Chains A and B, each alone.
Chain A
Amino acid sequence: MPPAETAAASAPENPEEIRAVPVRHPGRWVAAAIIVVIAVALARSVATNPRFQWGVVGDYLFAAPVEDGVLKTLELTFLAMVIGIVLGILLALMRLSANPLVSWASWLYIWLFRGTPVLVQILFWYNVAAVYPKITLGLPFLHANANDLITPFMAGLLALGLNEGAYMSEIVRAGIISVDEGQSEAAQALGMSRLQTMRRVVLPQAMRVIVPPTGNETISMLKTSSLVSVITVPELLFSVQQVYSRTYQTIPLLIVASIWYLAMTSVLSVGQYYLERRFGRGSSRNLPETPLQKLRRVVLTTRRQPAVVEAPEASEERR
């Protein structure tokens, strides 16, 4: 039979595509069906249950007190993270110091601030005037009434920032330790001082390890900042509480707050992605494309399919 012969002969060169009957996965279909049913039921209930009061959600989403609360939350998160990061770097360097007392002081701080609940710390700073009614800096005329100086906002900020410092110091320390010792040796052999070595060589490389958990800490801080509502700081949660204590529309206003928290954490996640990319420089040969670059490439290549004249654009994007 000549046809069979030719088929056998050509098989290794041009193997026929396999058209096998795929294995069935009935379990996956059942699971998918269950999920769909639950999702539809949930969506229908959320949409049709009048007690969610979606109209009220819409009314308050961009109301002035809510927007003020959002701004206050952002301000609190930003400032607390700045305090936390600066303090964290300082505590990490202290922890790695050759001086045992300095190292021990840092350890004690971390033990104290990580070992007590942040809510307790918030309440403590709020009531600090009970312990130190007058705050002086040891200089004449430079003293203030603790109650004037430590406003609820200051108390909340102090509590969140000082607490964050303890967590950040462990993150920074892990980052510094992750940098190969040969790097600081090379820097020192070139005549760089210890401070220069840390700032120019070690910390930039430690950033690759430090940035991802710091992004997580920021997102976590954004949510934790709602705790200061207990000491009447007018951030997002306290603002909606103020409204619903007057109108009794508790659920729709909590939904308003949740929508804002979700929106803000989503934006932060995107920012974290780009930061990680920047500090990944030099660690791999080619940086992965950002979603935007990927989109642009796909759109461009599908639009002019056969064109191979893409080279200048591609090299430009890599820059």
Chain B
Amino acid sequence: MSRERKRKLITSVLSILFAATVLLNFFNYEVPTFLWALDGIVLFGLLSYYIITQKLVTYMVKRSLEAAVVLVIIATMTFLLLRIIPGGPFDQEKALPPEVIANIEAKYQLNEPVYMQYYYYISGLLRGDLGESYKYVGRSVTDILAETLPNSIQLGFYALLISFLIGIPTGVIAASKHNTWIDNLSMTLAISGVSLPSFLVAAIFILVFCFSLNWLPPALWEGPEYYILPIVVLGIRPAAVIARLTRSSVLEVISSDYIRTARAKGLSERSILFKHVLKNSLIPVLTFSGPLIAGILSGSFIIEMIFAVPGMGKHLIQSVSNRDYPLVLGVTLIFSVLLVLSNLVVDLLYSFFDPRINLS
């Protein structure tokens, strides 16, 4: 078997593996643990292989240390900011007697000096203990995250998937048909996608697909038919941004010298577009993807509220109004970890897509 065929075979097997996971998950089947494990091992393996062959081990160590420092700074800042803003976690309409307040403060160690509270928090964090929510009494922050984050990730993952699947081809097509009606139409759509607020899009979609056509349920998170609307609404804006980025980037690359060379060699327009232009055009899209991935995976407050998705997004907002210190810190840290990780992956992908970028 030739090298090329081997590569193709491996790619296909892996694609089937991932597609199976995605589809089983989407259609609400129990995804077997071995499949999750296999996915994890393959992804991790690919990543490690890439890191080792590209001699990026020192780079990764350096970046991980940097990330740790960033996370500690974020945890500290959040901790301090929460103590600075007026209003405490147990302030409420009906004032409590001093005895009762004293007991609550003692229970949560809020009666101790701030530096001691900080010490307890950081030492808990090092033990992997994010503490207990003040609002949801008896539930640990870890439990809350473990119950809600998977739903946010599920929603976010599909939204990302469709935004890339729609955004990149639209951008490429628009660029290759530059200044034609196709280009104009797709860019008009893209601009609408960027500028329409998601709650408006959600309202329109609910009106059309639930109440006029009666195809889909208006909310809840119970199965595939429930997933479609929130995923599409969440995916529209990033899809539009990606389409615009891809288009301008493709246009720029198309007019570069090496493409002219390729054309001069007599390569077909199609092979130029897919083999030479696309890969290099994806750099700006990648830059945008880092924060996008973190933002979308950690849950969108508006989408989760409108479609009653039991995700983490609402805790991002509500924990702050509740002054639920441990939960605020928990969701902030999760968001930061996602952000740091996705930026790291994006940086690795830079060097993959554009060998001129040398990370080591």
A, B from the same assembly: no
